[in-house]
Structure 1
Amino acid sequence: MTSAPMSGRKAQAARNDELILQAARAVFTADPGAPIAAVAERAGVGISALYRRYPSKEALLQKLCGDGLKLYIEVTERALAEEGDAWEAFAGYLRGIVDADTNSLTIRLAGTFRPTEELYRDAVRADGLATEIHRRTVEAGALRPDVTVADIALLLEQIASIKLGDEKRTAQLRHRFLALATDALRVTPGHRELPGPPPEDDELKARWNPAG
C-alpha cells in the first residue's frame, strides 16, 4: 500500500522544513552563536515561515540534535544486526558514524541549549547501543580491551573536527584518518598499554549541561 501524495501546500512545507534543517546545521556548526535569522537567510525562507515551524532557536537546536541522535541509533542498530565478522561490523559502524557526521553536532552544540526528555531518552538508548557493540567486539577478541566506549566517542569527535576543502575532500580525509585509527584499535601482538586513564562518561555528559 502506498501513501497518498502530499498536497502542494504540505509538500512545500516539507521542502521548507528540510531546507531549514540543512541550513541550521550548516549555520550553527559553523557558529553556535549565530542568530536564527541567519538560518532563514541561508535556507531562502522567510523568518515567519521558520518561526511557524520552530518557535525559538532552542527548539531548532533540539530538533537538530534529536535527529542526530536518531541517526546514530539507526547506524548502530544496523551494525549490531550484522551476523558476520565482529570486527567488520564494528569497523562498518565507525564508518557509518563518520558518514552521518553526528559528532559535529556534539563538538559545536553541546551545552548551548537545554535538552528535552526525549533527547535524554534517546541519549540513553544511543549509549546502550554503543556499549553493546563495544562489548561484542571486545568479547570477539577483535577490539583491544583497554579502549573504552568513551575513548571511541572522543576519537569520533576528533575525526569530525577535520574540515579541509569541500565536502568530498573532507570526507576523504576523515575516512583516511579513521582507517589509521582503526588499525590502532584492533588487537595486535605486542600493542603498548595506553597512557593515562580513559575519559569518564560523566566528563562527556557534563558538556551537555547548558552554561549558566
Structure 2
Amino acid sequence: MESTAGPPLSGRRAQAARNDELIREAARAVFTADPGAPIAAVAERAGVGISALYRRYGSKEGLLQHLADDGMDRYLAQVEGALAATEGAGAAALRDALAAFLHRCLDLGAGAITMRLAGEFPVTAEMSAKGRRIHAATRELLDRAKAAGVLRPDVEVGDVSVILEYLHTVRIGDDERMGVLQHRYLALMLDGLARTGAGPLPGPAPDWQELRDRYDG
C-alpha cells in the first residue's frame, strides 16, 4: 500500500513543530488551571524560550484564541463521531457511547478549555458558527439518549458544557492522579445523569445565549 505521508520535515521545521506542540500542551494545562496566568508560565512549562512562543502566536490573546478554536475542533470531532456510532443504536449502546464520549472529551480537554477561557479572547464569526454546530450536534446526541431512556429528560447541552468545565478544575496531585480523579467524578456524575426516575433538577440549564454571552467578557 502506497504511503500518503508527506516528506519528512527538515531539522529546523521538525524542531519548530515539536516546540509548537509543547507550547500548546503547556498552554492547555496552564490556562485550564488559571486563565489569568502570564504567558511566561507557558514558556516555562513547555521548556522553550518566550521568544519562540511570541514568534508563533504573537500575543497571549492569540494563543488563547488558538487553544479555544482547537478545543472546539476536538469536541466537534468527538460528538460527530458519537452520533455516527449511535445511528440506530439501542439503549445499552447509547448509554455506553455517551459515557465513552464524555470520558474522551475529558481526556482531550475538548470543549472545556474553550469554556474555561471564555471572555479572554475575541470570538471570530467562524468560531461562533462552529459553536452553533457543536450545540446542535450535542443536542441530537442527548435527544437520542433521552429517547432510549438512558438519560434523564431534563439534562441539556448547557449541563454537559458546565460539567466538563467543572471536572477540569479538579487539581489534586500530579497529572496522573488528577486525571484519575477527574474520571472518578465523571463516573459519579454519569450515574446522576442516568437517573431517569429522579425528581426534576432545580431551574433550567444554561441556554445557548447564556453560554454565548460568556465570550463577550
* Structure 1 and Structure 2 fold alike (TM over 0.5): yes
Q: Aligned to 2:201, which of 189, 194, 201? A: 194
Could you say what secondary structure the match of 1:199 adopts? coil
Could you say what secondary structure the match of 2:215 adopts? coil
Aligned to 2:183: 175
| 175 and 207 in structure 1: CA distance in 2 versus 1, 3 angstrom threshold | same
TM-score, normalized by length of structure 2? 0.87
Asked if the contact 1:71/1:100 (under 8 Å) is kept, the reply is yes
**Counterparts of residues 119-198 of structure 1 (less than 5 Å):** 119-188=127-196, 190-198=197-205
Could you say what secondary structure the match of 1:208 adopts? helix
Asked if the contact 1:104/1:161 (under 8 Å) is kept, the reply is no
Distance 2:57 2:67 in 1: 11
The alignment's C-alpha RMSD in Å is: 1.9
Asked if the contact 2:72/2:111 (under 8 Å) is kept, the reply is no
Asked if the contact 1:62/1:116 (under 8 Å) is kept, the reply is no
Moved more, 114-123 or 70-79: 114-123
Could you say what secondary structure the match of 2:78 adopts? helix
Q: Aligned to 1:108, which of 116, 139, 150? A: 116
- Could you list the per-position Cα deviations for residues 79-116 of structure 1 after superposition, in whole angstroms to 9, with x for gaps in the alignment? 11214421111111111112122354245311111122
Asked if the contact 2:113/2:165 (under 8 Å) is kept, the reply is no
Could you say what secondary structure the match of 1:207 adopts? helix
- Do structure 1's residue 208 and structure 2's residue 208 form an aligned pair? no
TM-score, normalized by length of structure 1? 0.88
User: Which AA in structure 2 matches 1:196?
Assistant: G
Give the C-alpha shift of residue 176 in structure 1. 1.5
Asked if the contact 2:146/2:152 (under 8 Å) is kept, the reply is yes
* Regions of 4+ moved over 4 Å: none
User: Which AA in structure 2 matches 1:6?
Assistant: L
